[in-house]
Amino acid sequence: MSGNRTIYLPLGGAGEIGMNAYVYGYGKPGEEELILVDLGVTFPDMDTSPGVDLIFPDIAWLAERKDRLKAIFITHAHEDHVGGVGHLWERLGAPVYARAFTANIARRKMDEHGLKPEYVQTASAWPETIEVGPFTVGFLPISHSIPESSALVIDTPDGRFVHTGDFKIDLTPVVGEAFDRALWEDVAKTGVKALICDSTNVFSAHEGRSEATVGPEIERLLSEAKGMVVATTFASNVARLKTLAEAGKRAGRSVVLLGRAMRRMVEAAVETGVLRDFPATVPIEEAGQIPRENLMLIVTGSQGERRAASAQLARGKHHGIEIGDGDLFLFSSKTIPGNERGVIRIINMLSERGVDVVDDSAGRYHVSGHANRPDLEAMQDITDPQMVVPMHGEHRHLREHTKMAQARGRQGVLAVNGTMVDLSGNEPKVVDFVETGRTYLDGSIKVGALDGVVRDRIRMALNGHATVTLVLDEEDEPLGDPWVDLMGLPETGRSRQPLTEVLEESAAAALGRAGKKVLKDDDALEEALRRAVRNGAQDEIGKKPEVTVVVSRLS
Amino acid sequence: MSGNRTIYLPLGGAGEIGMNAYVYGYGKPGEEELILVDLGVTFPDMDTSPGVDLIFPDIAWLAERKDRLKAIFITHAHEDHVGGVGHLWERLGAPVYARAFTANIARRKMDEHGLKPEYVQTASAWPETIEVGPFTVGFLPISHSIPESSALVIDTPDGRFVHTGDFKIDLTPVVGEAFDRALWEDVAKTGVKALICDSTNVFSAHEGRSEATVGPEIERLLSEAKGMVVATTFASNVARLKTLAEAGKRAGRSVVLLGRAMRRMVEAAVETGVLRDFPATVPIEEAGQIPRENLMLIVTGSQGERRAASAQLARGKHHGIEIGDGDLFLFSSKTIPGNERGVIRIINMLSERGVDVVDDSAGRYHVSGHANRPDLEAMQDITDPQMVVPMHGEHRHLREHTKMAQARGRQGVLAVNGTMVDLSGNEPKVVDFVETGRTYLDGSIKVGALDGVVRDRIRMALNGHATVTLVLDEEDEPLGDPWVDLMGLPETGRSRQPLTEVLEESAAAALGRAGKKVLKDDDALEEALRRAVRNGAQDEIGKKPEVTVVVSRLS
């Protein structure tokens, strides 16, 4: 017993899919030296976070211990792994390590926030390693839906920990490194203490399909297309972009990349040598001169995002190009749960324009980037770890993955965000619970998810808003009646009188009932007016608005 | 040529799934006598209709012609077909016809609105018919996911029109009438002018499965369950309720029905003789005494509704029952697109309690109530109509269904809400476009979807709200500085000063710049203050709130 321990603490990504941020530590309890794996974002929705621009993990715990933080490692360039780097780096201040393509993307993010690109260091792949404090960390190539994804091999005096990052087992990934079983077996040879493992597709019972199987299907589809072809996929899926572009070329079409995120990804992939022989593309400005049947657009917006190229095209002209009768639109992507409404809206808009839409419902034009259950089992067999720590999943995924590991005779531990696990012993041991949460980027300001700001906005969205103003003179006597202004409420209710007038009467009546003591007391007066207006509205329109009361006193 | 025509005009349900309302007319153009088929609702969502309680089709066109409206026919008791009857009947005032079970449900809705149950008349099934004006209408039994669903056989002097309502071709539907091919062939024998047909599942390429195939799968699942079993499905799917309850019984479990909607449906089905030999159930109050392994709850909330029994159970105790480790929760239902987030939230909450959740991802524990593509083709073969008019679908469904009919050598017409089609001739002819839309039930008040009420609420949800108040004296001189109150906005921004103070400074500066002319002019003054606060907020927090300005003048 050295008195030291190796700990694992997810701050984001465990109990959700998104905003990954995993802390590892080694040292004496409470004094561990720390590293962070990934620093991602997640995306807001109207149900829970209206008006919010971006969501980060709450890194307060780590920021308070930044003197012990030795480095940040980024496994790959998906937004849910790298998206927080520019926004949050200043609070952590540790060097960022990533492989070339990921580092290229991370540096662009740092640059957007006026941070020096040198804070991001380019790491080489395994067997090269980086020593930071008590950790020796190596980037072990693994296949996923973006180039240069890596697992991390994290060695501490307690042994070897393998953090898979996002992965699938793909022997023919089109772009980037194929899964190299021999290499992985070699890494595992010395023994793996714990496998910290992607859980996304634990409910998918069939073996995963290779990226290479998509190409022939897309080529077949394109060979039969008569008009213009528009295809959308995730901007970061460089392999898919290549597959699509090559299929377009082979079908005799000029290829246009549309959407900033997509051009940026291809640029980064070419700059870092990850992407070679990508078919020549045509700038959108020249697309107008090309006959429709010889044109293929590859566009952003596979999730129905309102401002992306796919939505713009569905709404009408975009960069002079109009999609219409006889054209084909291909979703070479899956719809992330929660985005269905947006995607369906675009499909219907395209349908109204006479466009034939092909999506992935038949499972032909897209494959997942995550390991399905049999591949997760294979990963356990290959690495043969003493413990399995499921991550990158909602609670249901982590739970199922834990059960699966246990059913196969391994130690498994279900650790959601904030659960600190000691991985030093012969079995995982939960040693602490740390407060975690979400930070919202709201306009240009960061607010805590529980600060109440967004809660108030949701309430106004549900209930509307009423402003009540009242002026009192120097003797606390009302000067005239209370005044009501409304927003997001109907103009008339049950009585057919203007709702403002009805509520002004409610407020005036409350004022009439108020004694001298209430009139002197701002809080009591505001509360009386608020209650009067809410109850008046309940009678008149069946709902209680949020109320702002402003009492002005002459003095 | 009689100078008369038969017209079809969807007011809801064509171009969406929900709020079905289809008008048929016969007579001289502009003077047709009218009937309405179905009067349903659709459900709000946070993205487009926050705070709204229910959505109806805008029936203004029909209400303006209520003197020509002879009757309302309800095909079946799903909310998207009957849900508007109580809310909208007074504006139409025509007798409602439905078969016994549907009429039972419709009368309950009328009763809730203080309307006489006699307005709803119970119709018998085909070959009985009802004559209203120039129409002879028969209720032709057809299988669906609720008892006593019926197609309508609508005869006018122009010929026979078959309106399928929602349907599937099910020869063993567990509850209610099996699809009777011979009967349908008999109806079609005299020739069918137009088939107005359900389009929901036109993209499902495989043949539909019978309700009867679900039972054995559920029994197998239950036979292996160790703890309590909770199953959810649509409350109106009486056949499924029976299947679930019988499977529970057979597995030696006492069955509890939980959720008002569910008990109401079973009650109506028993009252009208549709449902016989439903297994005896146990009141929830007695469930506590029953050993968990002998207990089965059948609950509402298959779509993740926050207030339904399934959500209550997932959150904790409900009626003294607590679901937990070793229990099984079965979704015997599909998730309607758009409801994924809510359903997944409940699954994760159940996962946190240690509950095993089984859903329909494997396709074993649920079958659809709608005809898949091969069954839609069969329906065309059986009825052999001159024209096919797809309905009950989003634009993409209607378009695909129209193309499918045309590819099979029939006339097809894509008619979305508001499209008036003349079905008298040899081919469908679009003769008019009528303004349609949505009416929101908001609290107790009906507002038009485009009235701006909900738009303002969405804006407040996205941008927050600021109130600016200012008092001016008799000479139009400000008495003190403008005052700012905020709701749904952060407390501080870029400068770390309280945001209210920063915005009060912005408003005060604008006031300082305002000349005598602006100070006299309420509109100009309000606009100046609004602009100052919005721009001040943009600088400080990167977003422009909605602003209410209240100027009080002493006089």
Q: B490–A442: do the CB atoms touch at under 8 Å?
A: yes
Task: Using a CB–CB cutoff of 8 Å, tell me whether A489 touches chain B.
Answer: yes
What digits encode the pLDDT tens for the residues A216-270?
999 999 999 999 999 999 999 999 999 999 999 999 999 999 999 999 999 999 9
Phi, psi of B457 (to 5 degrees): -65, -40
Predicted local confidence at residue A133, as pLDDT = 97
d(CA A459, CA A109): 34
Domain boundaries, chain B: 5-206+368-448, 211-358, 464-553
Cβ atoms of residues B466 and B547 within 8 Å: yes
What digits encode the pLDDT tens for the residues A104-116?
999 999 999 999 9
Q: Give the pair of three-digit tokens for residue B76.
A: 């079946």
Contact partners, residue A541, CB within 8 Å, separation at least 6:
A489, A490, A493, A494, A499, B442, B443, B444, B445
Q: A456–B348: do the CB atoms touch at under 8 Å?
A: no
Phi, psi of A216 (to 5 degrees): -60, -35
d(CA A17, CA A335): 14
Task: Using a CB–CB cutoff of 8 Å, tell me whether A460 touches chain B.
Answer: yes
Predicted local confidence at residue A1, as pLDDT = 53
Across the beta sheet with A546-553, what order do the strands follow?
A: A483-487, A465-472, A546-553
What digits encode the pLDDT tens for the residues A430-465?
999 999 999 999 999 999 999 999 999 999 999 999
d(CA A453, CA A458): 9
CATH 2.40.10.220 fits A5-206+368-448, yes or no: no
Q: B465–A465: do the CB atoms touch at under 8 Å?
A: yes
What digits encode the pLDDT tens for the residues B103-139?
999 999 999 999 999 999 999 999 999 999 999 999 9
Q: How close, in Å, is residue A9 to chain B by CA atoms?
A: 19
- When pLDDT is averaged across residues B501-527 and rounded to a whole number, the result is 96
For B176-207, the DSSP string reads SPPP-HHHHHHHHTT-EEEEEEE-TBTT--SP
Q: What angle do CA A53, A54, A56 make, to 5 degrees?
A: 150
Task: Using a CB–CB cutoff of 8 Å, tell me whether A406 touches chain B.
Answer: no
- When pLDDT is averaged across residues B219-238 and rounded to a whole number, the result is 95
What digits encode the pLDDT tens for the residues A298-324?
999 999 999 999 999 999 889 999 999
Predicted local confidence at residue B269, as pLDDT = 96
Provide the mean pLDDT of chain A: 96
Partners of residue B485 in chain A, C-beta under 8 Å: 548, 550
- With a cut of 90, say whether residue B317 has pLDDT above it: no
Burial of B279 (0-12, 13-18, 19+ CB in 10 A): middle
Q: Give the pair of three-digit tokens for residue A363.
A: 């499972």
Please give the ipTM for the structure prediction.
Answer: 0.94
Q: How close, in Å, is residue A184 to chain B by CA atoms?
A: 32
From the candidate CATH numbers 3.90.1570.10, 3.10.20.580, 3.40.190.80, 3.90.79.10, the one assigned to the domain spanning B464-553: 3.10.20.580
d(CA B137, CA B129): 5
What digits encode the pLDDT tens for the residues B440-454?
999 999 999 999 999
Q: Which residue of B has its CA nearest to A352?
A: B395
Q: A542–B494: do the CB atoms touch at under 8 Å?
A: no
Q: How close, in Å, is residue A487 to chain B by CA atoms?
A: 6
Task: Using a CB–CB cutoff of 8 Å, tell me whether B327 touches chain A.
Answer: no
| A237: Cα separation from own chain's centroid | 16
Q: Work out the pLDDT band at A361, boundaries 50, 70, 90.
A: confident
How many angstroms separate the Cα of B38 from the Cα of each of A417, B62, B79? 49, 13, 10
Q: How close, in Å, is residue B497 to chain A by CA atoms?
A: 13
List beta partners, residue B56: B439
d(CA B188, CA B256): 44
Cβ atoms of residues B149 and B80 within 8 Å: no
Share above pLDDT 90 across residues of chain B, in percent, rounded to a whole number: 97
Cβ atoms of residues B335 and B303 within 8 Å: yes
Cβ atoms of residues A223 and A247 within 8 Å: no
- When pLDDT is averaged across residues B392-416 and rounded to a whole number, the result is 98
- When pLDDT is averaged across residues B184-212 and rounded to a whole number, the result is 97
What digits encode the pLDDT tens for the residues B454-507?
999 999 999 999 999 999 999 999 999 999 999 999 999 999 999 999 999 999
Predicted local confidence at residue B1, as pLDDT = 53
Q: Give the pair of three-digit tokens for residue B313.
A: 């159970």
Contact partners, residue B304, CB within 8 Å, separation at least 6:
B310, B311, B335, B339, B341, B342, B343, B344, B345, B346
Provide the mean pLDDT of chain B: 96
Q: A47–B471: do the CB atoms touch at under 8 Å?
A: no
Q: Which residue of A has its CA nearest to B394?
A: A348
Q: Give the pair of three-digit tokens for residue B455.
A: 């738009």
Contact partners, residue B220, CB within 8 Å, separation at least 6:
none
What digits encode the pLDDT tens for the residues B240-277?
999 999 999 999 999 999 999 999 999 999 999 999 98
Q: Do domains B211-358 and B464-553 have the same CATH topology?
A: no
What digits encode the pLDDT tens for the residues A491-538?
999 999 999 999 999 999 999 999 999 999 999 999 999 999 999 999
Partners of residue A45 in chain B, C-beta under 8 Å: 341
Task: Using a CB–CB cutoff of 8 Å, tell me whether B550 touches chain A.
Answer: yes
Task: Using a CB–CB cutoff of 8 Å, tell me whether B450 touches chain A.
Answer: no
Mutate which: B43, B334, B457, B484, vs A, most A CBs within 10 A: B457
Q: Work out the pLDDT band at A73, boundaries 50, 70, 90.
A: very high
Q: A445–B490: do the CB atoms touch at under 8 Å?
A: yes
Predicted local confidence at residue B2, as pLDDT = 72
CATH 3.40.50.280 fits B211-358, yes or no: no
Predicted local confidence at residue A365, as pLDDT = 95
Q: Which residue of A has its CA nearest to B398?
A: A351
Calculate the dihedral angle through the C-alpha atoms of A420, A424, A428, A434, rounding to the nearest 10 degrees.
-10
